[in-house]
Amino acid sequence: MPQVQPNERLAAFMRSAGVSRKALARLVGTDHTNVGRWLGGTRPRLATARRIADALSTRVGRTVSLQEIGLSASEPFPAETGIAYAETADETIGTVSRIWQADIDEIPQLMTVPPNGGAWSEASLGWLVRPESESIPRRNKGSRIGRSDIEAVRATAEMFAEMDNRFGGGHARRSLIQYLSTDVKPMLAGRYESDTGKALFSATAEALLLAAWMSYDSGIHGLAQRYFIQALRLAQAADDILLAGSILDAMSHQATFLGRTKEAANLARAARTGTRGHATATLTAHFHAMEARALAIGGDSVGAQRALSEAVRVFERRKPGVDPDWISYFDDAELSAEFGHCFRDLGRGGDAMTYAEHALANAGASARSDFFVTMVRAAGELHGKDVEAACATLAGALVLARQVKSARCAEYVKQFRAALVPFEHLAVVRELEAEHGGHHLWIASAA
């Protein structure tokens, strides 16, 4: 029988917070003997563990997670939670609420679970064959939710989106989840009329989409997939067709990054199919670009170039001012960046450089996006055997990302370093490592 280990995290937290055993017992509503058992390694029930965390949160004036005090093992989390495409909006609300709490508590099963390949197909099919209408849950309890509440959700999500663009998904991801769990969860359980409910579901789906992107950018892929799926289901309940298409588009992006190119192409096609007759030209062009990204990494040069041609054809019909706010960023520079990525993956270094340079000529909206395009340019230079230029470009990319916390950025550096191995005997490569070996992305890329 394994020996129970003392809970050093709880002990250390109590010391730093100046909380004695008797004080914690009073806060939780128990006696100091039970506190002694917890410190000795006995795991309390989940409800008790949360009371402990809540009591300590009140004491220190900030949210304390179960992980922080060594009690996350009190939370069971079935691996299948959040993977299924729910039948009802109420079921979705319950599921996403559980995921938020498990995320805050850093439940190991949630933070390490891998993506489920079949879940992408199930979610996209579930949305494509959805019923024509859906009733909004009606409740007699909870606070009355109005337009001002929804405006607050949107404004808060926009603030987090700005931080994500500037500093990467790893910067404020947990703060966003805490906001969703603390502020948005009670709204979803509140009272609202049909139109208000749909607006609330749409705003929450947008925030969930951001949570998914930030989790994906942080390298927590199974969790990101769950947020994408729940966002899609809430977008369906909101009858927000364009947002649902954008969520499928984002799911395609993640699947491509993970090398699941067949699923990625299908997700982009599902987004295009399901929004036909509704999507703006800008949004449809992005769907084509995502399909091209998937096909390019999969080695389908003809298919990728066909999808890129369609993206350009549709993009040229766009009308500024008619797009939803969340796709307005996709301009000529962003389309060029997508071309650059595709040509990089197809081994056409010169074309990748050309499009990357065009994108960079209009850069500045996001340090992370500028980093990605700069890395595409560096890859193109390296493909052309201009090692000195490639190293200089990489150095510039690292300067751009000095404040960016992003597992995706680290992966770009890792791939570049792998391609640099044949040239590691050159002085310029050794100098690059000597100068930038302490950069957080360089260090992370070695993992």
Question: How far apart are alpha carbons 210 and 163 in whole angstroms?
Answer: 11
Q: What is the DSSP letter of 348?
A: -
Q: How far apart are the C-alpha atoms of 157 and 144, rounded to whole Å?
A: 21
CA proximity to 252, closest of 295, 210, 281: 295
One-letter amino acid for residue 199 of the chain: A
CA dihedral sign of residues 81, 126, 132, 208: positive
Confidence grade of residue 4 (pLDDT, cut at 50, 70, 90): low
> Is residue 301 packed enough to be buried (19+ CB in 10 Å), middle (13-18) or exposed (0-12)?
middle
The predicted pLDDT at position 335 comes to 96
Q: DSSP string spanning 165-207?
A: HHH-HHHHHHHHHHHIIIIIHHHHTSB--HHHHHHHHHHHHHH
The mean pLDDT value for 307-333 works out to: 92
Asked whether the predicted pLDDT for residue 73 surpasses 70, the reply is no
Q: Say if residues 104 and 152 touch (Cβ distance below 8 Å).
A: no
Strand partners, 191: 144
The pTM (predicted TM-score) of the whole model is 0.86
Q: Exposed (0-12), middle (13-18) or buried (19+): which is 201, by Cβ within 10 Å?
A: buried
Q: Which residues of 225-256 are buried (b: 16+ CB within 10 A; e: fewer)?
A: bbbbbbbbbbbbbbbbbbbbbbbbbbbbbbbb
* CA-angle at 237, arms to 221 and 326, nearest 5°: 60
pLDDT for residue 75: 57
Residue linked to tokens 């041609």: 309
CA distance 66 to 64: 7
- Which has the closest alpha carbon to 187: 240, 223, 147? 147
The yes-or-no verdict on residue 74 having pLDDT over 60 is no
End-to-end, the C-alpha distance of the chain in Å comes to 34
Average pLDDT estimate for 255-270: 98
Integer Cα distance of 124 and 233 in angstroms: 10
The CA-based angle 317-323-326, given to 5 degrees, is 130
For the stretch 184-197, pLDDT in tens is 999 999 999 999 99
- Asked if residue 437 lies in contact with residue 413, where contact means CB atoms within 8 angstroms, the answer is no
Read off the tokens for 73: 């093992």
In this predicted structure, the answer to whether residue 2 has a pLDDT above a threshold of 60 is: no
Which pLDDT value is given to residue 133? 83
Mean pLDDT of 314-326: 90
- Mean pLDDT computed over every residue of the chain: 93
Q: Give helix 169-179 / helix 194-217 axis angle, nearest 10°.
A: 150
Residue 168's nearest CA partner among 371, 437, 326, 336 is 371
The predicted structure's pLDDT at residue 207: 98
* Average of per-residue pLDDT across 72-94: 85
| 77-103 average pLDDT score | 91
d(CA 54, CA 35) in angstroms, rounded, equals 15
What is the reported pLDDT for 222? Answer: 97
Domains of the chain: 8-74 (1.10.260.40), 84-239 (no CATH)
CA 300 from centre of chain: 27
Question: Which among 375, 389, 403, 402 is positioned nearest to 432, based on CA atoms?
Answer: 389
Q: What is the pLDDT of residues 18-42, one digit of tens each?
A: 999 999 999 998 998 999 989 998 8
Whether 3 has a pLDDT exceeding 80, the answer reads no
Confidence of residue 277 (pLDDT cuts 50, 70, 90): very high
In terms of Cα–Cα distance, which of 327, 360, 347 is closest to 245?
327
Select from 368, 317, 323, 381 the least CA-distant residue to 166. Answer: 368
Instruction: State the pLDDT at residue 373.
Output: 96
3-class SS at 295?
A: helix
Going by pLDDT thresholds of 50, 70 and 90, the confidence category of residue 76 is: low
* Distance between CA atoms of residues 424 and 417, nearest Å: 9
**In the prediction, which pLDDT does 230 show?**
98
pLDDT tens-digit map of 208-231: 999 999 999 999 999 999 999 999
Mean pLDDT of 107-118: 90
d(C-alpha 291, C-alpha 379), whole Å: 21
Amino acid residing at 131: P
DSSP label at 303? H
CA distances, 166 to each of 118, 231, 327, 406 (Å): 33, 23, 17, 11
pLDDT of residue 138: 85
Structure tokens at 45: 């029930």
3-class secondary structure for 252-283?
HHHHHHCCCHHHHHHHHHHHHHHCCCCCCHHH
Report, as an integer, the average pLDDT of 59-86: 81
Of 415, 416, 408, 435, nearest in space to 215 by CA:
408
CA-wise closest residue to 70 among 114, 18, 115, 5: 5
> Hey, which of 55-59, 64-68, 300-304 has the most confident mean pLDDT?
300-304
Confidence at 168, pLDDT banded by 50, 70, 90: very high
- Report the distance separating Cα 285 and Cα 412, nearest Å: 25
pLDDT in tens, 413-442: 999 999 999 999 999 999 999 999 999 999
